[in-house]
Chain A
Amino acid sequence: MNIIAYLDFNKNELKKVAFEVATLANQIKSQTNANIFAIGINVDTEKANELKDYGIEKLINIKSDLLDKYSSDAIANSLFQFAQSINPDLLIFPANSHGLELAPRIAAKFNAGYVSDVIDLIDDNGNLYFKKPVYAGKSIITTQIKSSVKVISIRPNVFTAKKNPTNSLDIQNFESNISINEVKAKVIDINKNIGKLDVKEADIIVSGGRGMKAAEHFNLIEELASVLGAATGASRAVVDDGWRPHSEQVGQTGKTVSPTLYIACGISGAIQHLAGMSTSKYIFAINKDKDAPIFKVADYGLVGDVFDILPKLTEEIKKIKG
């Protein structure tokens, strides 16, 4: 069995989700004796050494000047050139903004079935089943891919990266021979939200809802988030009211998140919000209404006024953080 593990590793940008993809590939390898081909693009070889901690022994470094700026067509074409040479059985991508564009492209090129946002993989005597949330997590389907080539993307933060050190990393360069005409759309600039963590990537999220009463009160959310090194999130209601940017919205028409800790402040727990955060490992709710639906899914809760509780809570957590 040949597995392609697309790491979304470009130059020296190596994100946590790359180690999660590596971990899953190794998990399958240990069960089926598979060959893993991890993929990076124009990688910094020094940085690539970090992959050794996560069991990667072979990295295919796809090289081309045309791939310096992200372009989903150019990367997909280059990756396909390599993939055809090894007849892959399974291709694993991260379900992030790049992987979600690339994985279905590769699936289309192979006429392969693709399951996105996978949260669990079951190997039943060589038959692979993939679980994925649907309806924003209100339900979960178990699927089977009927084509011989199978493509999946995995939800970040779900497959915990496990250290599994190897002694050597073999980096093989693969020269892509794409032409400039294959770069149909390309990134010309990136605007980062400086100093802000994204809800999709954060271990802890502090979210605020209508109970925060006004946009300016979100400083309480931001202060708590800052002490915890957390991302700030928001309910649909406050995004629709323009209090918070839509990139922070958690729920069915926002982002589905799976942090280690989700802190819901002044959020009652509308069904579409709960769908988006119900896979959080721990949920901590603060709300003045003891009957709010959010408490039904909460591990910990404080019933009371957020304006009274949040400053005290932030102080208490500061004490622990030293």
Chain B
Amino acid sequence: MNILVAISRVPDTTTKIIVGSDGKTIDNNNVKFILNPYDEFALEEALRLKEKNGGNVTAISVGNDLNTETLRNALAMGADNAVLIRAEGEFDSYFVAKNIADYAAKSNPDIIFLGKQSIDFDSLQLPSYLAEFLNLPLVTIVTKIDINGNEVTAEREIEGGKEIVSTTLPCIFSAQKGLNNPRYPKLPDIMKAKKKPIEEIQAISIDNLIEIIKMEIPSRSRLNKIFGNTDEDIQNVVKLLHEEAKVI
């Protein structure tokens, strides 16, 4: 079973976002970047399937030298191969999808795994793009996967419940939190990952379809009516919620 896992490099969740001098992107100074948390679930599931069924796991990322660090995280977790599709500058999800689809069309993996979204642009669009470009079945936001031969039954999270989806391999999955508990790489594996080769491919150039005009930090003034914990305080807040905010 050959599995391709598309991964991305994102600011750590504790990052305070500051808008950069161009007014369109974030200021990267002092930002710690990590492997996208949802990609960890995707990678972990890929590794478990490989451990059960044999085959190999290839991690792929679109970006520059900085992404090699992210790919090495994937190698340390247990990916067999790593591929960097080299691209500079700003690019949108359509660009990333076209490039990953181009690679996948040549390598024909049995499964393509992705995180359900990357926690920078939160678009949830890459899995659908890949399904369209590669004409493959897709199950997004999965919390459980059962594979029996070529038959697949997967659970996907929807508002207020789960959908049980039936499909066949080869297919594309996007991983939701809850699918598994990703392993922590061990120190020897981290050391070994530093020496593993990373295959490099030049990105095919595609015009961006989305242009970012500006980025801003939302500011919303709040009423800040803070009270203590007496019975009167509690009654006061309930009254304000009812009469001032009119929300209860």
- A73 with B159, Cβ < 8 A, contacts A246-B177, A308-B229 known: no
Contact of A138 among B212, B217, B223, B247 (CB under 8 A): B217
In whole angstroms, what is the CA distance A76 to B37 when docked?
A: 29
A284 contacts B by Cβ under 8 Å: yes
Contact of A137 among B11, B14, B207, B218 (CB under 8 A): B218
In whole angstroms, what is the CA distance A301 to B168 when docked?
A: 52
Stretch of A51-59, A82-90, A184-192, A214-222 on the interface side: A184-192
B13 contacts A by Cβ under 8 Å: yes
Interface class of chain B by DSSP: mixed
Q: Are B234 and A97 in contact, with the CB atoms below 8 A?
A: no
Q: Name, among B141, B168, B207, B245, the residue most crowded by chain A CB atoms within 10 Å (CB to CB).
A: B245
- A143 with B211, Cβ < 8 A, contacts A70-B163, A108-B133, A201-B160 known: yes
Q: Are B157 and A97 in contact, with the CB atoms below 8 A?
A: yes
Q: Are A190 and B119 in contact, with the CB atoms below 8 A?
A: no
A19 contacts B by Cβ under 8 Å: no
Stretch of A37-45, A98-106, A165-173 on the interface side: A98-106
In whole angstroms, what is the CA distance A191 to B241 when docked?
A: 35
Contacts of A282 in B (CB 8 A): 241, 245, 247
- A201 with B119, Cβ < 8 A, contacts A108-B132, A301-B226 known: no
Contacts of A298 in B (CB 8 A): 222, 224, 226
B28 contacts A by Cβ under 8 Å: no
A196 contacts B by Cβ under 8 Å: yes
Contact of B166 among A103, A185, A279 (CB under 8 A): A185
**Smallest CB–CB gap between A275 and chain B, Å?**
8
Q: Are B210 and A72 in contact, with the CB atoms below 8 A?
A: no
Contacts of A305 in B (CB 8 A): 229
B220 contacts A by Cβ under 8 Å: yes
A65 contacts B by Cβ under 8 Å: no
A164 contacts B by Cβ under 8 Å: no
Stretch of B68-76, B122-130, B184-192, B194-202 on the interface side: B122-130
Q: Name, among B131, B159, B228, the residue most crowded by chain A CB atoms within 10 Å (CB to CB).
A: B159
**Smallest CB–CB gap between B245 and chain A, Å?**
5
Kindly report which residue of chain B lies nearest to residue A304, judged by CB atoms. Answer: B229
In whole angstroms, what is the CA distance A192 to B160 when docked?
A: 6
Kindly report which residue of chain A lies nearest to residue B156, judged by CB atoms. Answer: A97
In whole angstroms, what is the CA distance A200 to B161 when docked?
A: 12
A14 contacts B by Cβ under 8 Å: no
Contacts of B132 in A (CB 8 A): 76, 104-105, 108-109
Contact of A135 among B17, B124, B131, B229 (CB under 8 A): B17
**Smallest CB–CB gap between B206 and chain A, Å?**
10
- A112 with B209, Cβ < 8 A, contacts A101-B138, A186-B166 known: yes
- A145 with B237, Cβ < 8 A, contacts A116-B122, A272-B14, A302-B227 known: no
B106 contacts A by Cβ under 8 Å: no
In whole angstroms, what is the CA distance A87 to B153 when docked?
A: 37
B240 contacts A by Cβ under 8 Å: yes
Contacts of A141 in B (CB 8 A): 24, 212-216
Contacts of B222 in A (CB 8 A): 283, 296-299
B54 contacts A by Cβ under 8 Å: no
**Smallest CB–CB gap between A208 and chain B, Å?**
17
Contacts of A308 in B (CB 8 A): 229
Q: Are A316 and B238 in contact, with the CB atoms below 8 A?
A: yes
- A104 with B129, Cβ < 8 A, contacts A261-B245, A261-B248, A313-B234 known: yes
Contacts of B215 in A (CB 8 A): 134, 139-142
In whole angstroms, what is the CA distance A144 to B238 when docked?
A: 43
Q: Are B229 and A303 in contact, with the CB atoms below 8 A?
A: yes
Q: Name, among A104, A142, A249, A295, the residue most crowded by chain B CB atoms within 10 Å (CB to CB).
A: A104
B148 contacts A by Cβ under 8 Å: no
Contacts of A188 in B (CB 8 A): 153, 164-166
Contacts A135-B120, A188-B166, A190-B164 aside, 10 further interface pairs with beta carbons under 8 A come to A101-B138, A113-B92, A113-B210, A138-B17, A192-B161, A228-B248, A295-B224, A299-B224, A302-B229, A317-B248
List 10 A-B pairs, minimum CB-CB distance, nearest first: A304-B229, A113-B209, A108-B132, A184-B137, A185-B167, A104-B128, A104-B125, A301-B226, A198-B160, A299-B223
B-contacting residues of A (Cβ < 8 Å)? 70, 72-73, 76, 96-98, 100-105, 107-109, 111-117, 129, 133-147, 184-193, 196-198, 200-201, 204, 228, 245-247, 249, 251-254, 256, 260-261, 270-272, 278-279, 281-284, 290, 295-305, 308-309, 312-313, 316-317, 320-321
Question: Can you identify 26 A-B contacts, CB atoms within 8 angstroms?
Answer: A70-B163, A72-B138, A97-B158, A105-B128, A107-B129, A116-B124, A133-B218, A135-B120, A139-B17, A140-B215, A143-B213, A144-B210, A146-B211, A184-B136, A184-B167, A184-B171, A188-B164, A190-B164, A201-B159, A246-B177, A253-B13, A271-B13, A301-B224, A313-B237, A316-B235, A317-B238
